[in-house]
């Protein structure tokens, strides 16, 4: 991808994110009723993350691939357990990487 | 309590979180370089966007050569939660100068919001609370920038055989698990996870956005008012 496209994305997302962060701080005078927005946004983080996890663990070139992706899938499932038990990003990443390397070593 | 004391109190309150933020920032920096981004744009991403999950999504899509508008929409959807934080902080920042509001907004993150707002809820006075928030938020900012920079330079040296790209889905897993708070969020997440398997082949990497819409809609349908938050 050409660097200037990446820079365009960075600047537009940067500006957009700043707008999301600042809009109510600038315009809101008191408390606001955000219950509908809150209900929608409540689901955004789990849904985005679940979709990203699912596609990166289960798909390769849009196809369901068990073979080469199997050790990553198993490592991912165990990493999910680690995340659940520890609630720690670093432990999840280090644990998951260690399991993938171990499985790769055992399976080759 | 003096201004400086309030600032340092906030700064210190963020310390336990920084232990998790620093390696996460390093991963983001490493992955940006691995996805083929230049050193400058890898760092620019942290500087201008300054929001981890959306940065990872951008990096993921840059690696997949997705079109520009998909990158922008995906990142902004992920960052839509900042609207809630913005509304949550607004009453506390009322009456400040525009440039100060702008800086406090730029520094608004999940962690800064949680620390800042809980301090206000404990009854912090307006100016002290603002300085406390600024202390926490700026500590998070500094560590995020240093962490990404460290990751960018580490990423240049890591061989592909290490499979460091797997750290991206692993960090998504680490971010996903704490969001599964109840049946409704679990159901919405499972629906999105299944939906993306079907829609991922849609043109222009639209799959993620479509799966997110399906997942959020399923969550709204399954949940009843008052079940949430």
pLDDT band, very low/low/confident/very high, at A55 (cuts 50, 70, 90): confident
Per CB-CB distance under 8 Å, the chain B contacts of A77 are none
Domain positions in chain A are 1-32, 43-107
Q: Looking at the complex, does the CB of residue A57 fall below 8 Å from at least one CB of chain B?
A: yes
Q: Please spell the DSSP secondary structure of chain A, one letter per residue.
A: --HHHHHHHHHHHHHHHHHHHHHHHHH--S----HHHHHHHHHHHHHHHHHHHHHHHHEETTEE--TTTHHHHHHHHHHHHHHHHH--HHHHHHHHHHHHHHHHHHH-
Per CB-CB distance under 8 Å, the chain B contacts of A21 are 82, 85-86, 105-106, 108
| A10-31 tens-digit pLDDT | 999 999 999 999 988 888 766 6
Cβ-nearest to A21 among B41, B106, B168: B106
Q: How far apart are CA B185 and CA B206, in angstroms?
A: 22
Mean pLDDT for A38-55 is 86
Q: How far apart are CA A16 and CA A18, in angstroms?
A: 5
**Minimal CA separation from A67 to chain B, in Å:** 16
Each of the 229 residues of chain B gets a pLDDT tens digit; together they read: 678 899 999 999 888 788 778 888 988 999 899 888 999 999 999 999 999 989 988 998 898 888 898 899 989 988 988 988 898 899 899 999 999 999 999 999 988 998 898 898 888 899 999 999 999 999 999 999 999 999 999 877 766 677 777 887 887 898 889 889 899 999 999 999 999 999 988 776 678 888 989 999 999 999 875 555 4
Q: Is the ipTM of this complex over 0.90?
A: no
**Minimal CA separation from B4 to chain A, in Å:** 24
Per CB-CB distance under 8 Å, the chain B contacts of A22 are 86, 101-102, 105-106, 108
| A74-106 tens-digit pLDDT | 999 999 999 999 988 788 988 999 999 999 888
pLDDT at B229: 47
Per CB-CB distance under 8 Å, the chain A contacts of B166 are 72, 75, 96-97, 100
**Which residue is closest to A59 within chain B, CA to CA?**
B197
pLDDT at B227: 55
Per CB-CB distance under 8 Å, the chain B contacts of A4 are none
Q: Do B87 and A42 touch (CB under 8 A)?
A: no
**Minimal CA separation from A39 to chain B, in Å:** 7
pLDDT band, very low/low/confident/very high, at A68 (cuts 50, 70, 90): low
Q: Looking at the complex, does the CB of residue B121 fall below 8 Å from at least one CB of chain A?
A: no
Q: How far apart are CA A23 and CA B56, in angstroms?
A: 24
């Amino acid at each position: 991808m050409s660097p200037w496209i990446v820079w365009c994305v960075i600047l537009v997302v940067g500006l957009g994110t700043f707008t999301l962060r600042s809009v109510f701080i600038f315009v809101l005078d008191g408390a606001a009723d955000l219950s509908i927005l809150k209900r929608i946004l409540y689901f955004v983080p789990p849904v985005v993350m679940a979709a990203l996890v699912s596609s990166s663990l289960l798909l390769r070139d849009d196809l369901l691939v068990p073979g080469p992706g199997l050790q990553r899938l198993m490592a991912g499932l165990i990493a999910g357990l680690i995340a659940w038990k520890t609630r720690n990003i670093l432990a999840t990443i280090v644990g998951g990487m260690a399991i993938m390397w171990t499985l790769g070593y055992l399976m080759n | 309590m003096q201004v400086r004391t309030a600032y340092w109190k906030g700064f210190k309150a963020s310390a336990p979180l920084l232990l998790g933020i620093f390696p996460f920032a390093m991963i983001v920096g490493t992955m940006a370089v691995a996805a083929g981004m230049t050193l400058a744009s890898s760092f620019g991403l942290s500087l201008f966007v300054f929001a981890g999950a959306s940065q990872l999504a951008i990096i993921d899509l840059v690696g997949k050569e997705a079109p520009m508008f998909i990158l922008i929409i995906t990142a902004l959807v992920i960052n839509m939660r900042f609207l809630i934080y913005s509304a949550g902080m607004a009453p506390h920042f009322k009456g400040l100068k525009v440039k100060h509001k702008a800086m406090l907004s730029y520094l608004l993150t999940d962690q800064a919001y949680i620390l800042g707002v809980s301090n206000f809820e404990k009854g912090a006075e307006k100016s002290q609370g603002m300085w406390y928030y600024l202390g926490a938020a700026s500590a998070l900012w500094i560590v995020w920038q240093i962490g990404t920079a460290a990751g960018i330079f580490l990423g240049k040296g890591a061989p592909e055989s290490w499979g460091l790209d797997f750290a991206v889905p692993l960090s998504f897993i680490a971010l996903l698990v704490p969001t599964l708070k109840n049946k409704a969020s679990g159901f919405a997440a499972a629906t999105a996870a299944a939906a993306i398997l079907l829609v991922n082949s849609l043109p222009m990497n639209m799959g993620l956005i479509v799966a997110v819409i399906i997942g959020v809609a399923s969550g709204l349908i399954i949940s009843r008012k008052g079940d949430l938050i």
